[in-house]
Structure 1
Amino acid sequence: MLDKSKKTGDSNFSEQEISRFDALAESWWDPQGKYKTALEFNRARLNVIKAQIEIHFGRGNLPPDYSALSIIDIGSGGGLISEPLAKLGAQVTGIDASAVSVEVAKRHAQNTGVKVDYQHKLSSEVVEEGRQYDVVINAEVVEHVPDQQQLMRECASLVKPGGLLILATLNRTLKSYVVAIVGAEYVMRYLPIGTHDWKKFVKPSELKSWIGNEFTLKYQVGMRLNPLKGEWLTTSSLAVNYIQTYSKHK
């Protein structure tokens, strides 16, 4: 079978992955659609992301001034993370390799009246522009690119000194294979078959090593599904889905 993954110059993307997400994009915002479990997962994940931003940038017991924060969501898809953060007042840029996903996100933001700067581009292009942000988010993206270490280096370079890097992905464990691939794709059909490649899942220690010495790991937590209630909850186990936050040294 022809391998459609590409790693040429600054092009770190997989045509096969992009075409798959093009097909998904229109369904991402439908709370009654077949991906409603993924939407519930995003809600729980977003709660963690917001809490970590508020801890890092908060003023004592007061929340941060979101309007003073610049945020980039790398692999923003349909805007499920970008739009809620922009609604809080943050200056949010969402980038994605899928032009269809970007257009879906733009249309949804226009309909809800939320201002997000969505752009069809790769993180390498933003690095070349010399931009940096208070918060860099890369959620459920690293497991879909050919050169994972390059993507992490690019994300790290986009964080301002004193800023926050938030990463979310899947651990490469036997449990993650059973839960995220066999269970989620083949049994429960929460996601289309072939959405994930277990060999591309990333261990927390690998992420940490790719980030480099400029960062300190501040927080990590796992995510688990309560199948009876259809709710996603945080857990101390990082065996399947997990989130890490890193602060960049000033």
Structure 2
Amino acid sequence: MPHSVNVDEQEINHFNQQAHQWWDPNGQFNALHKLNPLRMDFIQQHQTLMAKQVLDVGCGGGILSEAMAQAGAEVTGLDLAADLLQIARLHALDTGVNVHYVLDDVAKHAQSNSAQYDMVTCMEMLEHVPDPQAILHACAQAVKPGGWVFCSTLNRSNKSLLLAVITAEYVLNLVPRGTHHHDKFIKPSELTQMGREAGLVMQKTAGMEFNPILKRYRLNDDLSINYLMAFQKPLNPAS
């Protein structure tokens, strides 16, 4: 299928090439497996997942999608990396978890599924696209009034350059080299503004501490590296 303009083909190819390692908890995506309980905790602080219609944008191999489905949500996982989606589908067959995976662009999907979801998640994805603002607009279009949009990304700080790129990729080999590009990271103030321009109201933030040396993974108030942001769509959006 033709890709949307809002896609970096090099990013898609990079993740497709790593698809076979996605579900290895001790492999190159170990960090995602460690962070996933933190993402789930943050989501469930705001909204129960039971019987909720959830869209997982940039679902990759389905780590978050499966967790949300196991918590009772009806999950649609959306991505443009075909190999990753195939891995996600095969893993769901193995585990018996019901997730509907779709190869599609979020803008196109949101147009045909406007205000259909109770919740939209977009985790570790915004820093991999040319136009993250357009992604937020699509998420806002897809969620129902009163619904939630949850995002996570990396802060464009000196600390994130040192720890999330240099140390994580080139010193400790925690994630595949070339996964992150510091100039694409997004400051919390920028993400808040993107949400506002998409018609969303920022409700809460949290940092994610990822310390493989101390084996410490927890939510905190430090937004200088990895952080989460919860938005809500007003019940009566301004016209």
- Give matches, 1:46-57, under 5 Å: 46-54=40-48
Aligned AA (2:87) = V
Is 1:84 the equivalent of 2:81?
Answer: no
* Residues 222 and 190 of structure 1: CA distance in aligned 2, closer, same or farther (over 3 Å): same
Q: 2:3, 2:105 within 8 Å by CA — same for their partners in 1?
A: no
Matches within 5 A, 1:205-224: 205-212=189-196, 214-224=199-209
1:113 aligns with 2:96: yes
Instruction: Return the TM-score normalized by structure 1.
Output: 0.87
The equivalent residue for 2:215 is 230
Q: Which moved more, 1:174-183 or 1:83-92?
A: 83-92
What's the offset of the Cα at 1:33? 2.4
- Alignment correspondent of 1:61: none
The answer to which of 198-207 and 30-39 deviates more is 30-39
* Cα contact 1:76–1:95 (8 A) shared by 2: yes
Of 34, 38, 41, the match for 2:35: 41
Aligned to 1:57: none
What is the CA–CA distance in structure 2 between the aligned matches of 1:37 and 1:169, rounded to whole Å? Answer: 13
Cα distance in structure 2, aligned partners of 1:43 and 1:217: 22
User: Which residue does the alignment assign to 1:146?
Assistant: 130
The one-letter amino acid paired with 1:71 is V
Where do 1:150-189 residues align within 5 Å?
A: 150-189=134-173
**SS, match of residue 231 in structure 2:** strand
1:2-28 deviation line (CA, Å, top 9, x unaligned): xxxxxx994310110001101222212
Which segments of 5 or more consecutive residues in structure 2 lack a partner in the other structure?
none
Deviations along 1:28-49, one digit per CA (max 9) or x if unpaired, are 2112324323311223222222
- Distance in structure 1 (CA, Å) of the matches to 2:31 and 2:172: 10
Number of the residue aligned with 1:75: 58
Task: Give the SS at the match of 1:224.
Answer: strand
Deviates more, 1:149-158 or 1:134-143: 149-158
Letter in 2 for 1:78: G
Matched position secondary structure for 1:191: coil
CA contact (8 A) 2:3 2:80 kept: no
Establish whether residue 103 from structure 1 lines up as the match of residue 86 from structure 2.
yes
Is 1:25 paired with 2:19? yes
Letter in 2 for 1:87: Q
Query: Per-residue displacement from partner, 1:168-215 (whole Å, max 9, x unpaired)?
Result: 000111111111111101111111221111010001111111122632
RMSD: 1.7
Instruction: Provide the rounded CA distance (Å) in 2 between the counterparts of 1:70 and 1:128.
Output: 17
Query: Conserved in 2, the CA contact under 8 Å of 1:37 and 1:230?
Result: no
Give the whole-Å Cα distance in 2 for the aligned partners of 1:108 and 1:156.
29
Q: Is the 8 A contact 2:58 2:78 kept in 1?
A: yes
User: 1:172 and 1:82 mapped to 2: Cα distance?
Assistant: 26
Q: Which residue of 2 aligns with 1:130?
A: 113
Q: What one-letter code is carried by the residue in structure 2 that aligns with 1:223?
A: M
In the alignment, the residues of structure 1 paired with residue 228 and residue 181 of structure 2 have an alpha-carbon distance, to the nearest angstrom, of 19
Is 1:203 the counterpart of 2:187? The answer is: yes
Counterpart Cα distance in 2 of 1:212 and 1:107: 38
TM value normalised by structure 2: 0.91
